[in-house]
Structure 1
Amino acid sequence: MTSVDDALSLTREESAVISAFVPRVRVEMIAASTPRVSATLEHRLHWERAHRVRLGATDATVIAIATGIAAAFQLHQGEPPTNVATRSVLLAGVWFATLLAMRTSVTALFGSSTAEYRGIAHASGLAIGMMAFAAVLLDWDSMRITVLITLPMGLLGLLMSRWSWRRWLSNQRRHGRFTSRTLVVGNRDEVEYVARTLHPSAAGGYQVVGATLLDGNARELKVDHTTVPVLGNLNSVAQVAIELRADTIIVAGRPERDPDFVKRLGWELEGTAAELVLSNRLADVAGPRISFVPIDGLPLIKVQIPTYEGAKHLLKRALDIVVSAIALIPIIVMTPLLALLIKLDSPGPVFFFQERVGRDGKPFQIVKFRSMRADAEQRLAALKADHDGAGLLFKLKDDPRITRIGKVLRKLSFDELPQFWNVLLGDMSVVGPRPPLPSEVSDYDGTVSRRLYIKPGITGLWQVSGRSDLSWDESIRLDLRYVENWSMITDLQIMWRTARVMVAPSGAY
């Protein structure tokens, strides 16, 4: 999995960064009272500033192009050049200032992609809204046209540029550049959890370089085939951080009966570290469900209880109808050719119908292009002893029932295209948990059955995270995480990642 891509966090200005795997409260360390600034901290601040400048320059360019196109349209309509120039410069200035004020470049460094894109959308909407309000008050008729032209173009350009920079930064971090050298402090199981979560390619920006255990004296920890050195004790965390040149310290647990441990550690780290992060193990709880509420010195983390009805789900259904209706147009065009290939390859029907279980346990008939021989169901019992072990889910990498054209269809996920008809009918959603068989559901326990709280999907986190290469437990964990934390932005991101997976398929068999 990407981290991500799949990290879910709050913005820095809220003084809380809470991710999907390592929710954490971020406390800025400002060394105003001391001249000490380590070389490590200075290096980090330097590359952070440089990247913010790159983002700012790109944002300014995109905004200038969008407003420039709108200005050209106004000039073509005969508007006075002076008025057009004044309003365009004002719009561009307000837009850029709003992006800076909402600190979207800060989120781009260590926040999740969802938080960054949401911040860009909010800032753009606020800027355009202010200008539209000014246009009404000042009776700038032409400004309304400018807003209608500039907002979609500029917002799309900003999102694409930020996506490109995020890919570039992730690639740099895979090579060990532009990462935060991180020391993790806590009990052994807490440290291992944090290190395992942050480890994959340091894509989130945190590279674990060491650990300090509060409940043991191990020399090192093994985390996903990576060795993390264990150094020091609770009284030498600051010194260990200096020795390791760590600019971030994650406190995954604190000593018992020592409520002032974090405060004292913060004082010791002044001028030597960029941030102190408190880890709170709210596993599989997404950022939008979490808010940080400080009350009289008591930091409270509020977790919203998930709901499965309401306006948000109506909006999801509207998106399903639009996407499925559009998708079915090219699918109808492709169907005669695919039907001919399926028929020529093996005898049997073009479409394969199978009973699956939908929302709230309601059965429905799923439809696919046939990728197996006509007697596949009858041969299933003889193959079950050889399947590749996936809990309740039958998987066989070299399934002899799959036809030659079926292998191609499955590799490209073309066999699932007719399911957009199920989406249009309302039995499925474009994005959701994998649609289970009745035999699987009959063996569900109380936890796994929660994946039936929403409609199954053509694609989902399981689709973009390994598909058939995932274990049963991993598949269920991804489905349950989606069920409780989904959002419209998450759905759009999964759709985009699915398109990429179809171009470069992995784990499809």
Structure 2
Amino acid sequence: MEESARPSSSVRTSPPHVDLQAVPHPAEESAASPEVLEPGTAPLSRTTPAAWERRYWAWVVGSDVFAVALVIAVSAYIIDRVAPHDMHAFGTAAAVLFSLPVSRAWSQRVLGEGAEEYRTLGRGLILAAVAVAFGGLLFGALEVQVWVFIVVPAIALVAFPQRYVLRQVLHRRRRHGRCLLPVMAAGSVDTLADLIERTRREAHVGWRVEAVCASGAGGAPEPGEVEGVPVVGKLDELARHVRRGGYRVVAITADQYWSPQRLQRLAWDLEGTSAEMVVAPVLMEVAGPRLNVSGVLGMPLLRVTAPSFTGGRRVVKEIVDRCGSALLLTLLSPLLLVIALAVKLGDRGPVIYRQRRVGRDGATFTMLKFRTMVTDADRIRATLEAGNEGAGPLFKMRRDPRVTRVGAILRRYSLDELPQLVNVLAGRMSLVGPRPPLPEETEKYAPDARRRLLVKPGLTGLWQVSGRSDLTWAESIRLDLRYVEDWSLALDLVILWKTFRAVVFGHGAY
């Protein structure tokens, strides 16, 4: 279809001369550079996935097939002794290999895309289990129960870790600047700068902003570059530049230029190209289960539900907190004893450090930790204020002279936090939640920061898995508020897993 056949809002005046071939594209990771088209020529055809995308897809599919074949073979040997007349093994394998693509578990759009990849994989395995159970009922083979409740879950136990390992390999390559999707972004200069900074900080997402379209404030000429990324044109020239550049993602950030009509026309103009258009909503920090898109009166509406602080999910969280802390205290009791002895023998001082902290709804409680500093640390702090490296009301020093030798080891691996499990068991804290603040910190809180006190503080949280002591005050507040607003049981599980990794490798703790 000719480009002129689509309605377009592009201004037909000549844009400032910019050599689009100078915009860097990855050599291996992206598709071959498309031919530069003159205005009015036919649009680019949809490009095929890059070589790394095809290889990664093949590895994912191959790993899933391997997991199915391995578990089915072992199960058939154990359960049926490879009886030639028994079709349970073949039926289960067929159900799984059919359900995974049907559930989009092999779609390139979801591979490497965070929790969505795991959700589609889980959905496919649940569909396979239902299909096996239905087949058993249909053909009168009631003995398929073991295949439904044991074999399919066993496949999940193999497939999920394999997916995780492959994603870690992909993330490592992305951190080294490989396996990234070329992105064209368009919006205001401020929102573009924020997007570029986020993509660089979180390279595992897989985006590399290579060019932007922007206009200056008040319609002034656009700048030459934004955060080192070249500006190739104005907002009304976006579709033309996307067609010439072969970008895989077109990211639309906030700007008063974007009206519903212009976004719709842009979507039309991008049809037939390799680009996927993504639009950043104004509510940048609201995500997850609180956002739903629905159609009302023929209009797409983004529904934002109120955050949940009570209800059934909170009861489940309370049960998990109490049972989990009790189990961890039991399993870790030998380690707790060893640490207590090490602290005591270090300087003959007290083992446990007690400190008043602020909990839910502003109620104070006594938080328990293994002592990592000298006994008169609080008194000495006043003499160290000049060396404070913490942001906001926090006091932090990378080389705090008050920390003992044993305490330095405990802090690096967060072992000093283990006695807080007693606070969790007593119901004063949660396994996952905002950081428990000091009373003097809360006195300096702005109104938005006080929303952290709507839920119980946590032994770990988003602040723990996103940089720990390396975070600025504003970043720690933003992460805590994001958790308060978008909390879910799935998010808690992800945070607990990432906490384990952060603690093992000692990232960002001092």
TM-score tier after normalising by the smaller chain length: 0.7 to 0.9
- Structure 1 residues 454 and 133, CA gap change in structure 2 (3 angstroms): farther
- Structure 1 residues 88 and 502, CA gap change in structure 2 (3 angstroms): same
TM value normalised by structure 1: 0.85
Q: Quick one: which amino acid aligns to residue 260 of structure 1?
A: Q
Q: Is the 8 A contact 1:290 1:302 kept in 2?
A: yes
Aligned to 1:208, the other structure's residue is in SS state strand
Q: 2: CA distance between counterparts of 1:295 and 1:49?
A: 39
Residue 395 (structure 1) aligns with: 396
Identify which of 70, 75, 92 aligns with 1:70: 75
1:59-109 Cα deviation digits (max 9, x unpaired) = 121122222232223225xx95422xx122212222222221121233665
Deviation at 1:317, TM superposition (A): 2.0
Q: 1: CA distance between counterparts of 2:284 and 2:363?
A: 29
Q: 2: CA distance between counterparts of 1:121 and 1:109?
A: 13
Q: Is the 8 A contact 1:173 1:201 kept in 2?
A: no
CA RMSD of aligned residues (A): 2.5
Residue 29 (structure 1) aligns with: none
Q: 1: CA distance between counterparts of 2:474 and 2:160?
A: 34
Structure 2 residue 484 is the aligned partner of structure 1 residue 483:
yes
Q: 2: CA distance between counterparts of 1:63 and 1:482?
A: 36
Larger radius of gyration: 2
Q: Quick one: which amino acid aligns to residue 221 of structure 1?
A: E
Q: For structure 1, which segment, 213-222 or 165-174, has the greater mean C-alpha deviation from structure 2 after superposition? A: 213-222
Q: Quick one: which amino acid aligns to residue 503 of structure 1?
A: V
Aligned to 2:393, the other structure's residue is in SS state coil
Q: Quick one: which amino acid aligns to residue 501 of structure 1?
A: A
Deviation at 1:312, TM superposition (A): 1.1
Q: Is the 8 A contact 2:112 2:167 kept in 1?
A: no
Q: 2: CA distance between counterparts of 1:304 and 1:156?
A: 34
Matches within 5 A, 1:41-440: 41-44=46-49, 47-75=52-80, 80-83=83-86, 86-106=87-107, 109=110, 112-136=113-137, 138-200=139-201, 202-215=203-216, 216-223=220-227, 227-253=228-254, 256=257, 259-295=260-296, 297-440=298-441
Residue 14 (structure 1) aligns with: none
Structure 2 residue 450 is the aligned partner of structure 1 residue 449:
yes
Q: 1: CA distance between counterparts of 2:203 and 2:385?
A: 39
TM value normalised by structure 2: 0.84
Q: For structure 1, which segment, 301-310 or 170-179, has the greater mean C-alpha deviation from structure 2 after superposition? A: 170-179
Q: 1: CA distance between counterparts of 2:375 and 2:203?
A: 47
Q: Could you list the runs of 5+ residues in structure 1 that have no partner in the other structure?
A: 1-33
Deviation at 1:298, TM superposition (A): 2.3
Q: Is the 8 A contact 1:466 1:507 kept in 2?
A: yes
Q: Is the 8 A contact 2:372 2:407 kept in 1?
A: yes
Matches within 5 A, 1:492-503: 492-503=493-504
Q: Is the 8 A contact 2:356 2:439 kept in 1?
A: yes
Q: Quick one: which amino acid aligns to residue 492 of structure 1?
A: L
Q: 2: CA distance between counterparts of 1:218 and 1:254?
A: 13
Q: 2: CA distance between counterparts of 1:319 and 1:465?
A: 23
Q: Which has the higher contact order (CA 8 A, sep 6+)?
A: 1
Q: Is the 8 A contact 2:222 2:233 kept in 1?
A: no
Deviation at 1:258, TM superposition (A): 5.6
Q: 1: CA distance between counterparts of 2:52 and 2:337?
A: 55
Deviation at 1:47, TM superposition (A): 4.8
Q: Is the 8 A contact 1:210 1:244 kept in 2?
A: no
Aligned-residue identity in percent: 37
Deviation at 1:126, TM superposition (A): 2.5
Q: Quick one: which amino acid aligns to residue 170 of structure 1?
A: H
Deviation at 1:305, TM superposition (A): 1.6
Deviation at 1:418, TM superposition (A): 1.3
1:464-498 Cα deviation digits (max 9, x unpaired) = 12211211111111111111112222212211211
Deviation at 1:194, TM superposition (A): 2.4
- Structure 1 residues 258 and 475, CA gap change in structure 2 (3 angstroms): closer
1:423-463 Cα deviation digits (max 9, x unpaired) = 12211111111111122123323211111121111111111
Q: Quick one: which amino acid aligns to residue 73 of structure 2?
A: G
Residue 508 (structure 1) aligns with: 509
Aligned to 2:401, the other structure's residue is in SS state coil
Q: 2: CA distance between counterparts of 1:318 and 1:148?
A: 25
